[in-house]
Chains A and B, each alone.
Chain A
Amino acid sequence: MTEPPVIAITGTSRGIGLGMARHFVGLEYRVAGCSRGPTIFTAAHYLHSEVDVTDEKQVRGWIRTIKNHYDHIDIFVCNSAIVPAASLLTATSFDIADSTFRTNVMGAYLTCREAAKVMMLQRSGRIITLSSMAVGLHELGTSVYAASKSAVVEMTKILAKELAPLGITCNVIAPSVFKTSAVENLGEAVVKHALESLTIKREVTIEEICNVVNFFAAPESSSITGQVLYMGLVN
């Protein structure tokens, strides 16, 4: 019997990451998750680690823990991110911009780098990063966040080219509004305006997001790489 896939997801203590962890545990995948703090979620095939994704040593240790525990990684989902409160660029503090870029860009770089190294030895794997509708909407007050998520898109596309000869695909999901405490940080007005700007003017569900992960992860998607799938938005 084929063993269930191993999926590693960052940022699983809440929001989309927690929803994904629950979803894939439900599908009997072997799931490894991480977050800065502890999680409320426990399951037989769920391995949680407390990891700061901006800390190189911790990230390397986490990926090694997964490798030691499960022997390989089939799917890696880079989900953890900071969503700062909406603020005009001219009013955004250096600290906010710095922490947003550290988590959203450097965190993605570190986690994708280490997961990719495991997949390079396997000569297979799926890397899926999360961007945002913010990249396509250009809403006022989202310059720092949208720029960080735009960087994730560019990084993923180039990584896709680098890893394509090794049988590893890299793709991006850009969900529309999925109400989490992080997104609520943007402020009600920004979220309302974002919803109005969307082509499909409603929030997406975790099942819809996981459906896209499943699509990118499917064996039949082995020729799909470097793509950005916007949800709810024509871009």
Chain B
Amino acid sequence: MISEEDALQLIVDSIASLQRAGLIEANLMITCDTVLLGSGSRLDSIAFVTFVTDLEERLNRMTGQELYLVLTDIHEFNAETAYLSATMLARFIAHLTQSRTASS
């Protein structure tokens, strides 16, 4: 199980690492309110997919579980908003790992 704070840190680490590797060009400082997807996001679609793929790998290494970040699931989890912020994604990840732990 991963807490919301841990998930946020994972997001920060992922973005920072992708920036260092030159895989994300946007100069992005992640805070709770940083928009990752939707209006106001500085990540283009390729950068976002790259980020989610990297985040999935980190999540799997951290938990040892087969976890997938499916966009439609994330959207359903945050159905009332038209964008995805770092906090919203962290909350989804915490929920995902929690529900996986509960079902196993």
- Interface set of A (CB-CB < 8 Å, partner B): 60-61, 64, 67, 117-118, 120-121, 123, 162, 165-166
Residues A121 and B68 in contact in the complex (CB < 8 Å), given A64-B60, A165-B46, A166-B46: no
Hey, which chain A residues are within 8 Å of B23, CB to CB? Answer: 121, 123
- Interface set of B (CB-CB < 8 Å, partner A): 23, 46, 49-50, 53-54, 57, 60, 66, 68
Hey, which chain B residues are within 8 Å of A118, CB to CB? Answer: 53
Closest residue on chain B to residue A123 by CB atoms: B23
Hey, which chain A residues are within 8 Å of B60, CB to CB? Answer: 64
Hey, which chain A residues are within 8 Å of B49, CB to CB? Answer: 117, 120
Residues A121 and B54 in contact in the complex (CB < 8 Å), given A165-B46, A166-B46: yes
- CB < 8 Å: which of A120, A162, A165 contacts B53? A120
Hey, which chain B residues are within 8 Å of A120, CB to CB? Answer: 46, 49-50, 53
B56 to chain A, nearest CB (A): 9
- CB < 8 Å: which of B50, B53, B66 contacts A61? B66
Q: Supply 11 A–B pairs (Cβ within 8 Å), ascending by A.
A: A60-B68, A64-B66, A67-B57, A117-B53, A118-B53, A120-B46, A120-B50, A120-B53, A121-B23, A121-B50, A121-B57
CA distance A121 to B17 in the complex (A): 11
Determine chain A's interface SS by DSSP, over half rule. Answer: helix
Hey, which chain A residues are within 8 Å of B54, CB to CB? Answer: 121
CA distance A61 to B46 in the complex (A): 22
CA distance A162 to B50 in the complex (A): 13
Hey, which chain A residues are within 8 Å of B53, CB to CB? Answer: 117-118, 120-121
Closest residue on chain A to residue B45 by CB atoms: A162
Hey, which chain B residues are within 8 Å of A121, CB to CB? Answer: 23, 50, 53-54, 57
CA distance A162 to B23 in the complex (A): 15
Hey, which chain A residues are within 8 Å of B66, CB to CB? Answer: 60-61, 64
For the complex of A and B, 4 pairs with smallest distance between CB atoms: A117-B53, A120-B50, A121-B53, A121-B54
Q: A60-B66, A120-B46, A165-B46 are in contact. List 9 more A-B contacts (CB 8 A).
A: A60-B68, A61-B66, A64-B60, A67-B57, A120-B49, A120-B53, A121-B23, A121-B53, A121-B57
Hey, which chain B residues are within 8 Å of A64, CB to CB? Answer: 60, 66
CA distance A100 to B50 in the complex (A): 31
CA distance A206 to B68 in the complex (A): 37
Closest residue on chain B to residue A117 by CB atoms: B53
CA distance A111 to B3 in the complex (A): 32
CA distance A165 to B66 in the complex (A): 29
CA distance A166 to B57 in the complex (A): 19
CA distance A61 to B50 in the complex (A): 18
B2 to chain A, nearest CB (A): 19
Closest residue on chain A to residue B70 by CB atoms: A56
Closest residue on chain B to residue A122 by CB atoms: B23
Hey, which chain A residues are within 8 Å of B46, CB to CB? Answer: 120, 162, 165-166
Hey, which chain B residues are within 8 Å of A61, CB to CB? Answer: 66
